[in-house]
Amino acid sequence: MANYSVLLVAALIVLSVPVLTLFIITPLIRASRANKVKLEPYECGVPASSLAFDHRFSVRYFLIAVLFIVFDVETVFLFPWAIRFKQLGLFGAVEMAVFLAILLIGYFYAWKRKVLSWV
Amino acid sequence: MLETAPSTDAYLMLSGTLFAVGLIGVVIRRNMITVLMAIELMLNAVNINLVAFSHRLGSLEGQVFTIFVITVAAGEAAVGLAIIIQLYRLKSTINVDEARMLNG
Amino acid sequence: MSLNDLIFLLPEIILATGASLLLIAPVTGLRDSISAKWAMIALLIITAGSLLACSWAVPGMEQTAGFARMFALDAFSIFFKLLFLFVVAIVVLLSDDFLRESRYSTWEYYSLLGFALCGMMFMASGVHLATIYIGLELLSLSSYILAGYYKNEQKSTEAAMKYFVLGAVSSAILLYGISLIYGVCGTLNLLDIARALSTVVSNDALMFGVILLACGLCFKIAAAPFHVWTPDVYEGAPTPITAFLSTGSKAAAFAIFVRIFYVALPGFHLDWSMVLATVAALSMIVGNLAAITQESVKRLLAYSSIAHAGYVLMGIVAMNVMGLRGVLVYSFVYVFANLGIWSIVLMMKRHEYAGEKVSDFEGLHSRSPFWAFSMFVFLLSLGGIPPTAGFIGKYFLFYAAVQAGFGWLAIIAVLMSAVSMFYYLRIVVAMYLRDGKEADVTASGALKFVAAVCVVATIVFGVVPNDLIDQVSSSAKGLHNKGAVTRNATR
């Protein structure tokens, strides 16, 4: 049998760090000097136009955001291919074309479902 | 390994702590968006682990796997956001405690 | 890798292409839901055909692994892939009424089912932790959406949310385990992990990784300390999707469970077997005891499926030939019994969430004796009573546990099976001994077909199990000889 006690100790140490910092040490030593500017919602440094919770955003923002997340991150696969473009040759190019075609299917679907048009 | 780079142990402690922060966040936070962020934190802890090991072992497998984890995390975030929006449409809240029609 | 490798993937390529086409079909003008169903069934048949063709075309199936040893097309994976194809085909038939009544988009529904199936097939074939993880996530992400397919129904959306949060957390835990295993072994390939571990005696980081990995997997199969999501999700999800989650995605999780623990971690059997044995015992006890008091059939079956996860875990804990065969046989017979039960539950359904109280089954015998009898057979099979197929599966698993020296686990399993008969018989008593309500059983042709197929299979495989056992033995062979799966060197 492996020595499980070491595991337990490791788990306890790892768990204790966030517990200590989030709930015990920080409330004791942090300075709490709240003022109006500090509590304002952050809007890129310019004075906030409204409070965060009384301003509704259209749900379309979220749809665009969701699409953005997916398509944005998928491009990460292009980087390894781009770095080894010459070595991968035609085969790599064809593979990447297939990959992009799959993404385009998703894009085409979103487009035809009128997710991209602003009503 | 570069002389100046921290040891793998340091990365492991960092990722273990991040993972624990994420796990605690999922358990104690009531806002669905925050829960989603905590889950991302856990996945990124895994990424740190994988890249640190990949660096130490000199094998690329871990880094390639990290890319996959990042993309899957994006897909997960998209699905999660869609479910949150639907829940908000039906209940006008994204507090996980309010979701109690199923007695569990 | 080379073009030759593509032949390994042909069924998955066909399936993924077909599912993509199903996705874009409705936006190009096709709206007809009947043609969606037939398109999906045609896709499943073509995929199954190409799978069989590939398995014949690839010589020496036991030792093949393509794509830099990430993907194996061995007898084990073909067994599970055919099982998954069958499950999804049945779910398509079960979904018919639900889709017609609810007026949600049909094409996207089938497309998501296709992608989920694709993920399951990758799970069955994966011999590399990355392949397995991607397959698992493809299945999970599709399942989250499908669980919330009653978009305007609070229960369903809630189920999707709970499933999503807990599922995402569990895959993060699983990934953390994978990353630790990678750190110790320096590879993600299951066979190389086994090879790297053959020189390692004991390692705490590795044990931590294996335990985290096991936690993540136990969550996916709904074993006991990680089971809390199961009743809620099964209750809230549309019934055909509940059927899918409780059979298909569970069998897929068993497939990767077996693959990882039998291929990669046999050297550490002594270390993980006690942990998993405890989980198995806990699942059987918690699942069966909690099921007794349930009024909702869906929740009752959810708890019973937790208990069944415990039985199957016994086969993995045992780590011998009997155990491996037991897992395969049990996954197989469990699929038939469970899909049969869900088809009967769907027959009872008169509006969206009806047909799910135990009292709804009162007097089913006087209303439609044949379907009452079918339900009886399925419940006997779940309970593991001899003339049905469930007995064969339980026999293998219990025997394997005793053989491996886990007698105490087998005793718990037998006791808990007796307890399980108690709540299965509650439904039987309601069907046969209580007075019926007036409401009719509304069975469409598809539901009748599914129930009939399942009842025939449950009885036939129970009475003459030889063919099934032979098939399973040959499917299991490649996996148990350590290292036989992917001896083929990488290109």
Classified as helix, coil or strand, C189 is strand
- Taking 50 as the pLDDT cut, the residues of chain A under it are 1-2
Of C342 and C434, the structure prediction assigns the larger pLDDT to: C342
| Residue at B82 is within a domain | yes
DSSP-H helix ranges across chain B = 8-28, 32-57, 61-91
Give the nearest partner residue to C270 out of A1, A3, A108, using CB atoms: A1
Which candidate in A70, A81, A84, A113 is best for mutational testing of the B interface (most B CBs within 10 A)?
A70
C68 and chain A: CB distance < 8 Å anywhere? no
Which is it for the CA torsion C237, C239, C244, C247, positive or negative?
positive
Q: How many domains does chain A have?
A: 1
Q: Which of residues 101-160 of C touch B (CB under 8 A)?
A: 129-130, 133-134, 137, 141, 144-145, 148, 151-152, 154-155, 157-160
What is the distance in angstroms between the CA of the first residue and the CA of the last residue of chain C?
6
pLDDT at C355: 56
- Show the beta-strand stretches assigned E in C231-332: none
Give the nearest partner residue to C24 out of A3, A10, A108, using CB atoms: A108
Give the nearest partner residue to C154 out of B42, B91, B96, using CB atoms: B91
Contact, C254 vs C90, CB < 8 A? no
Which one-letter amino acid corresponds to residue C208?
Answer: F
| Biggest distance spanned by C-alpha atoms of chain C | 69
| pLDDT tens digits for range C409-449 | 999 999 999 999 988 988 888 888 877 665 566 777 888 88
In which band, very low, low, confident or very high, does the pLDDT at C465 lie, cut at 50, 70 and 90? confident
Place of tokens 């781009």: A82
Residues of C within 8 A of A6 (CB-CB) are 204
| CATH code of the domain covering residue B71 | 1.10.287.3510
A80 and chain B: CB distance < 8 Å anywhere? yes
Size of the A and C interface in Cβ pairs below 8 Å: 32
| Residue at B3 is within a domain | no
Kindly determine whether residue C204 and residue A113, on different chains, have CB atoms separated by under 8 Å: no
Residue C46 has phi, psi (to 5 degrees) of -60, -40
Give the nearest partner residue to B75 out of C141, C148, C160, using CB atoms: C141
In which band, very low, low, confident or very high, does the pLDDT at B1 lie, cut at 50, 70 and 90? very low
Both tokens of C249, joined, read 């995605």
pLDDT at C84: 95
Name residues whose C-beta falls within 8 Å of residue A86's C-beta, 6 or more positions apart in sequence.
none
Average pLDDT, chain C: 85
Kindly determine whether residue B75 and residue A18, on different chains, have CB atoms separated by under 8 Å: no
pLDDT at C384: 86
Q: How many domains does chain B have?
A: 1
Classified as helix, coil or strand, C480 is helix
This model of the complex carries an ipTM of 0.91
| Residue at A117 is within a domain | no
| Residue at A119 is within a domain | no
| Residue at B1 is within a domain | no
Size of the A and B interface in Cβ pairs below 8 Å: 48
Name residues whose C-beta falls within 8 Å of residue B55's C-beta, 6 or more positions apart in sequence.
B1, B5, B8
Q: Which of C71, C11, B74, B83 is nearest to A103 (CA)?
A: B74
| Residue at B58 is within a domain | yes
pLDDT at B80 over 70: yes
Range of the domain at A76: 4-112
Both tokens of C280, joined, read 């198995």
- Chain B, nearest residue to C184 by Cα: B53
In whole angstroms, give the CA distance from residue A23 to residue A11.
18
| pLDDT tens digits for range B5-43 | 667 778 888 888 899 999 989 988 888 889 999 999 999
Scored b (16 or more CB within 10 A) or e, A98-110 reads eeeeeeeebbebb
Kindly determine whether residue C165 and residue B96, on different chains, have CB atoms separated by under 8 Å: yes
In whole angstroms, give the CA distance from residue C57 to residue C61.
9
Q: Which of C73, C162, C159, C169 is nearest to C124 (CA)?
A: C73
Both tokens of C149, joined, read 């397919």
In whole angstroms, give the CA distance from residue B11 to residue B55.
11
| CATH code of the domain covering residue A87 | 1.20.58
Residues of C within 8 A of B52 (CB-CB) are 183
